[in-house]
Amino acid sequence: VSERHGDATTDPGLRSWLPVADGSDFPIQNLPFGAFVRAGESKARLGVALGDKIVDLRSLARAGLLDGVLPDALEVFSQPDLNAFLGRGRVAWRALRTRLSCLLSVGLAEMQAAALAERALVAQSDVQMRLPLRVGDYVDFYSSLEHATNLGKILRPGGEPLLPNWRWIPIGYHGRANTIVVSGTPVTRPHGQRKAAEATGPDFGPSRMLDFELELAFVTGDGPPQGTPLPAARAADHIFGVALLNDWSARDLQAWEYQPLGPFLGKSFATSLAPWIVTMDALEPFRVRGPAQEPAPLPYLALEGPQNYDIALEVDLGPHRIARTNFRDMYWSMPQQLAHLASNGARVAAGDLNASGTISGSAPSSYGSLIELTWRGTKPLELPDGTKRGFLEDGDCVTMRGWCERSGAVRIGLGAVTGHVTAAP
């Protein structure tokens, strides 16, 4: 039995009138959303990626091509971020996707006839990408069983690696929203308190254990009013799409600060987000069952059917591939994370960002952070250029990529999130 679905917008037979190279991240079946700045302008515009171009949504709205889909499309797509559109909810998201798919597909002359192509299409190489949303609340989960187990072994040697609550609760915490930056933004090595095991007190200086974390984040629309939980079965309706995320982490700062209230300065200095948000509708053909959950989730977290997504992931350090894994084996699914987050009545809002936690598989080559790949620096990576890495050095560039592939479906890419480390001030 296939667990995969889709609709006309994911049909493998669909072709855009704009030529798209085979193997592009952004065929017409994808249409991810982003914010960009054109040369000579300062205000961000909103668009969807198609091949190596971007379709400017405001231009389409001005030409009346989104009439009947979104009542105030011109206003919504004159914003510098996606928040207003996110606030319109699932019906509007789907209606727009269907319309764009139609406008951009072969055989439909409406768009070409509007002589809009020149104005509405811009080359990705000619723009700068911006953060696609104003992030409201940012939550970082901890939903890979393998990652949580590895961290338990590394940070609490001798103890039970997985804490007793982990298989009951999609563990998470709030992170700093206003230090989330778009892919490509340099990341400054943070200062902070570090305490050597044998020292009587900490000292203060640049982190010596700077790390990345390979994650996938989902963006939400508005949920019910504060005080009203979101049922698990409805949670997926409030998830707009996903983007790659690098949760930069200073392990020495984190180890000394995190008891008893959790990570704070070890994480808050920077978090990098990919520029393209790939919709759940585009990912639909790649929906799969996740791992069995044992014990069975409590009823408020119980969900029928496949809730995970088959997304191949890889991490490069400079030119060297250092990890490959897949999102499909995450223990807690995105709808479960969201249902848990909202189960106490906390409000879910358009623009909230919720990250998966580090995505690690069972093989050592599939670990999504250096602390796992090098076992806290004790087994440094030996790179093909002859250098070694326990943790990140100044100048290091980390790039994460993700994509979905299966026979019978068109490849859907997530693009990349990249960032390089600059020296502490």
Residue 293, interface with a second copy (CB under 8 A)? no
Q: Is the peptide bond before 19 cis (omega within 30 degrees of 0)?
A: no
Exactly one of 147, 174, 191, 420 is catalytic; name it: 147
- Helix, strand, or coil here: 38? strand
Q: How far apart are CA 289 and CA 306, in angstroms?
A: 4
Query: What does each C-alpha distance from 157 to 89, 162, 200, 375 come to in angstroms?
Result: 46, 11, 21, 12
| Phi, psi for 253 (deg, rounded to 5) | -60, -45
Type of residue found at 77: F
Interaction between residue 295 and a second copy (CB under 8 A): yes
Which amino acid makes up residue 209? M
173 near a second copy, judged by CB under 8 A: yes
Query: Rounded CA gap, 152 and 167, in Å?
Result: 14
Structure tokens, 287: 């929906």
Contact 191, 204 (CB under 8 A): yes
Distance CA 60, CA 111 (A): 9
Q: Does 175 engage in binding with a second copy (CB under 8 A)?
A: yes
147 is catalytic: yes
Answer for which of 193, 324, 381, 383 binds a second copy (CB under 8 A) is 193
39: phi then psi, degrees, rounded to nearest 5: -55, 135
In the complex with a second copy, the residue whose CB is nearer, 32 or 275, is 275
- Per CB under 8 A, 149 contacts a second copy: no
Site for a second copy in 198-227 (CB under 8 A): 201-204, 226-227
Q: Is 340 in the site for a second copy (CB under 8 A)?
A: yes
- Number of residues binding to a second copy, judged by CB under 8 A: 65
For the beta carbon of residue 254, count every other beta carbon within 10 angstroms.
Answer: 21
Query: According to CB under 8 A, which one of 122, 236, 250, 338 is a site residue for a second copy?
Result: 250
Q: Does 239 bind a second copy (CB under 8 A)?
A: no
| 95 near a second copy (CB under 8 A) | no
Which residues have a Cβ under 8 Å from the Cβ of 277 and sit 6 or more positions away?
Answer: 32, 33, 34, 82, 132, 133, 219, 240, 241, 242, 243
Using rule CB under 8 A, residue 298 touches a second copy: yes
Using rule CB under 8 A, residue 171 touches a second copy? yes
Name the minimum Å distance from CB 268 to a second copy: 4
Query: 138-141 and 353-355 as β-strands: parallel, antiparallel, unpaired?
Result: parallel
Complex with a second copy: residue 169 or 288, whichever CB lies closer: 169
Q: Which of 38, 149, 234, 256 binds a second copy (CB under 8 A)?
A: 256
Interface residues with a second copy (CB under 8 A) are 136-139, 142, 155, 163, 165, 168-169, 171-179, 181, 186, 188, 190-193, 195, 201-204, 226-229, 250, 253, 256-265, 268-270, 295, 298-300, 340-341, 343-347, 349, 352, 422, 425
Catalogue the active-site residues.
147
